[in-house]
């Protein structure tokens, strides 16, 4: 994980987690960092998307009665799962690797605000992961750092 990216995320109020146990019952928002190879991947209703190789960040939240940060991130990291969301198609791909997870517990930072912070700094993958935020953010997956 590049230190410059970690500094940006800390400035936004996110902290890196190394284990999901401490956040098992917490709610809030997260940024899941993934290493994605340069290839075309089928992503549900979005169809086949071509990804430049690099680090990508996915913005999400866990705020429902049964949705906790630990539960949501653990689901994203499982390879064997029903593919319900756009992110499921990436995280279950055999060549996509999780790199880090950053989160903000509580209500200090919203999913929309975090997506807007990312939009101002990184290119978004249009319509990826933001069906519930359509028109409010361009997407919830961002190219954080292309591989060179």
Q: What is the pLDDT of residue 58?
A: 97
Q: What is the pLDDT of residue 141?
A: 96
pTM of the model: 0.92
pLDDT digits (tens, 9 = 90+) for 43-92: 988 999 999 999 999 999 998 777 889 889 989 988 888 888 899 999 99
* Closest of 30, 132, 15 to residue 75, by C-alpha: 30
Write phi, then psi, for 40 (nearest 5 degrees). Answer: -95, 130
Retrieve residue 104's tokens. Answer: 């903000």
At residue 134 the predicted structure's pLDDT band, cuts being 50, 70 and 90, is low
Write phi, then psi, for 55 (nearest 5 degrees). Answer: -95, 130
pLDDT digits (tens, 9 = 90+) for 8-43: 999 999 999 987 777 778 899 999 999 999 989 999
At residue 3 the predicted structure's pLDDT band, cuts being 50, 70 and 90, is very high
* Closest of 27, 35, 9, 30 to residue 117, by C-alpha: 9
Residue entry with tokens 């750092």: 145
- Report the pLDDT averaged over residues 99-107: 93
- For the chain, the distance separating the N- and C-terminal CA atoms, rounded to the nearest angstrom, is 15
Q: What is the pLDDT of residue 131?
A: 65
Q: Is 60 exceeded by the pLDDT of residue 133?
A: no
Residue entry with tokens 């290119």: 123
Cα 15 to Cα 103: distance, rounded to the nearest angstrom: 5
């Amino acid at each position: 994980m590049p230190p410059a990216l970690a500094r940006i995320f800390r400035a936004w109020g996110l902290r890196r987690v190394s284990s999901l146990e401490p956040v098992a019952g917490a709610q809030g928002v997260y940024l899941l960092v993934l290493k994605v190879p340069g290839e075309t991947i089928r992503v549900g209703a979005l169809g086949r998307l071509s990804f430049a190789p690099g680090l990508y960040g996915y913005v999400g939240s866990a705020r429902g009665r049964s949705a906790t940060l630990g539960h949501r991130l653990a689901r994203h990291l499982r390879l064997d799962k029903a593919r319900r969301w756009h992110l499921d198609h990436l995280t279950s791909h055999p060549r996509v690797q999780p790199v880090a997870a950053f989160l903000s517990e509580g209500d200090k930072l919203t999913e929309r605000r975090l997506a807007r912070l990312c939009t101002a700094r990184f290119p978004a993958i249009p319509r990826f992961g933001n069906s519930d935020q359509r028109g409010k953010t361009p997407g919830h997956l961002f190219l954080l750092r292309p591989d060179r």
